[in-house]
A and B are shown apart, each in its own frame.
Chain A
Amino acid sequence: MRYNERELLSLARQPAEKAAEIRMSVPKKGNVLKKRLVKLVVNFLFYFRTDEAEPIGALLLEHCKITKEEENVFSISFIEEPERKYCFECATKEQCQEWVEALRRASYEFLRRSLIFYRNEIQKMTGKDPLEQYGISEEARFQLGAHRQ
């Protein structure tokens, strides 16, 4: 699949929501944990060799499941292939918990659901649609009941 790699590489250089050196394994034979610089930017998780400027890879975090595995370890898997897991071994259980929470909120779909939720709440409280001021209140993607999955 073609993709605009230059822009994705540029995105990887942007300030991250979260970044840390974490031992990580990709779903390959052996599943060896290797130390990587892991960086969350918008709905992408980039991973770098610790001394390199360009990421080895990127994961688009849509339709994925973040699972807290055993002590200090969490995994990312995608719904169409739940057995293929990317595993991350954190230094502490606090770090693990923070990453799990951050990654679960890192999808575009999560943002959309939050927007619909807040819009509805504000509308209930004030009788006004808060999206009107942004001129996006008619968009189908923000309607209550949109995007049932």
Chain B
Amino acid sequence: MKLNERSLAFYATCDSPADNSGFLYKRGERHTAYHRRWFVLKGNMLFYFEERDSREPVGVIVLEGCNVELCDSAEGFAFAIRFGGTKSRTYVLAAESQAAMESWVKSLSRASFDYMRLVVRELEKQLQEMSRGVAAGCGGSRELPGPWKPKPPGLEQSRERLPALPAILPKENGCAVWNNVLGADRLPDTPGCGEHDGEESPRPPPLPPRRRVSNGEAASAGAAVAESPSTFCRLHEQYSREVARLRQDWQQRRRGPRP
């Protein structure tokens, strides 16, 4: 099978940041001697080079569908990348320290595209539910401005439905560009917004506009600058129940069969 090797080599050696890199000992396939190689992890591709400054990788391990396990090897700091399937090879690697081994095991076990996609879909769902929750509480559904394009019929439950981020993505980090995107930086000030409990006065004050964060620092009062503390607390509680429930769903689904 042909692979776009030139592009792969470029991807491995270009200056896009690596998710992990360092020297590891790799056990050979036929001979059990270990060879010291320079490893570079980018996304779900684990490249290995003869030397740190080699111009091209010796090889690459595609990390989809693998398990990463510690070894009880006499070599110490050893771990294995194991694939399913009967004739699959197991890659045995050894780090030069406990810390390095732990760091590699952690990053390799979460390196798959599948894992990333799972996390992204969860976050996307959370965000959509939060936005819908805000809109719905204020008199019916409404179209959100910005990147949430109206879903085309028939594609709603499609596995590949992803947010309609602009096709040409900016090269900068997300914050400065996406700052205004949702447009929902103000909670509408219609009375009756949100839930009422018995203790509230019949007409609660309008929810204050959300403070816009322009430089990416965590908005500690992000959700609402509360004039009435009970409003903020209520929202806070609401969101954390929601997040806890979503987390439970995710954990259950994770244990279940692959979709």
Contacts and interface: CB of A to CB of B under 8 A. Distances in A.
Is B truly associated with A?
yes
Interface of A: 1-12, 17-18, 42-43, 54-60, 62-64, 78-81, 100-102, 104-105, 107-131, 133-134, 136, 139-141, 144-149
Nearest to A5: B1
B89 interface: yes
B85 A6 contact: yes
Contact of A43 (B6, B44, B159): B44
Contact of A56 (B2, B16, B85, B119): B2
Interface string B55-67: 0111111101110
B44 A122 contact: no
Nearest to A66: B167
Contacts of B130: 122, 125-126
A42 B118 CA distance: 12
B117 interface: yes
B1 A2 contact: no
B156 interface: no
Given A111-B117, A121-B178, A7 B169 contact: no
Nearest to B174: A117
A125 B222 contact: yes
B218 A3 contact: no
A136 B126 CA distance: 17
Nearest to A7: B83
B2 A104 contact: no
Interface in B110-160: 110, 112-114, 116-117, 119-120, 122-124, 126-127, 130, 159-160
A102 B218 CA distance: 32
